[in-house]
Structure 1
Amino acid sequence: MRTIRPAWLGATAVVLAVAGWIATELTARASMALPVLPLSSLITMGLIVVVCLFLGFKVRRWRDGKRDRHLDPLLAARTVVLAQACAYAGAVLFGWHAGILFDQLPTISLRAELGVIWHIGIMMAGGLVMVVTGFVVERFCKLPPEDMEPPVKPRDKREGHGEEEFA
């Protein structure tokens, strides 16, 4: 299984930032509300982060030597997949809201209240927390390299140490 690629996360965030900017332009032309997630979605994001961290600490504890219980390999694999999904979902949320913020920056001085800007910033921060959590939990699940001695090379029979040749 491949590890999280920061370049792919960045590309995801950039693509979604462009999509968020375009969506904001289109909704503004149609006199609709900004396409921002409600603050209640932070609860869902928080639950995902907590579950991901819980499972990650469980795998990390086993990896660090506290093996009083058997660790199901499928649980460890699912934890890695959850960590990667958490990171990519965070990049999507961060990018989307960054595009909306980029569109709204010229109008900040015209706004009487900055509640929407704070709302967007909080959602971007939640996305960053998800990305960081994904990276950290993925590192928890990585096994350290084993200190193995190089394999002993078998001797060739032609070397003839102590062997007799028959004519």
Structure 2
Amino acid sequence: MGSIRIPWLVLIGLVFGTLGWLINWWATRNGYPTPSLPLSSLLTIAAVVAVTLIFGFRVKRWRAGNRKRALDPILAARTVVFAQATAYAGALTTGWHIGILADQLSLVGVRSNLGPLWGSLALMVAGIVMIGTGLIVESFCRLPPDDEAGSGTARESGEGEYA
């Protein structure tokens, strides 16, 4: 399993930022509402971040030496996948709402309702939190390289693997 690729996160953000800007531009000029997530989705994002962190801290505690019980390999694999999905979903959410925010900023002078602007800003920040959480929890799951008989050289099979 590969690790999170930062260039992919940036590409996802750019693609969905462009799409968000274009769709918001079209929607607001044709009388449709802003295509943004509702603020209640912040609760869902908070739940996803919390669950990701809970699973990540379980793996981190095991790595730190709290090995009273064996680490379930399925739990560890799911934690890595969940962390990566959180980061990629955060990139999509951030990009989409940056695009909406960019178009909403151009409408500040002609619109009295700034709700979509603040909503997009809040969801953009939540997306950044998702990206950070995904990257941090993925790092919790990475095993340190093993030393061969204390020689200080890392074995290739242990380097960069997940718990």
Query: Structures share a fold, TM > 0.5?
Result: yes
Give 1:84's aligned amino acid. Answer: Q
Q: How far apart are 1:48 and its partner, in Å?
A: 0.5
Counterpart of 2:94 in structure 1 is 94
- 1:46-125 equivalences in 2 (<5 Å): 46-125=46-125
1:47-66 Cα deviation digits (max 9, x unpaired): 11000000000000001111
Instruction: Please give the secondary structure, in 2, of the residue aligned with 1:17.
Output: helix
Give 1:120's aligned amino acid. Answer: S
Alpha-carbon distance in structure 1 between the residues aligned to 2:131 and 2:73: 24
Tell me the TM-score normalized by structure 2: 0.88
Counterpart of 1:25 in structure 2 is 25
Give 1:14's aligned amino acid. Answer: L
Name the Cα RMSD after superposition: 1.4
Instruction: Please give the secondary structure, in 2, of the residue aligned with 1:67.
Output: coil
Q: How far apart are 1:70 and its partner, in Å?
A: 1.3
Contact 2:91 2:127 in 1 (8 A): yes
Q: Structure 1 stretches of 5 or more lacking a match?
A: 152-167
Q: Structure 2 stretches of 5 or more lacking a match?
A: 152-163
Tell me the TM-score normalized by structure 1: 0.86
Alpha-carbon distance in structure 1 between the residues aligned to 2:130 and 2:80: 14
Alpha-carbon distance in structure 1 between the residues aligned to 2:73 and 2:100: 41
Give 1:144's aligned amino acid. Answer: P
Q: How far apart are 1:150 and its partner, in Å?
A: 8.4
Q: Of the two, which has the highest radius of gyration? A: 1
Q: How far apart are 1:102 and its partner, in Å?
A: 1.0
Alpha-carbon distance in structure 2 between the residues aligned to 1:73 and 1:14: 35
1:101-157 Cα deviation digits (max 9, x unpaired): 111111113332422211110000000000000000000000111111389xxxxxx
Contact 2:104 2:116 in 1 (8 A): no
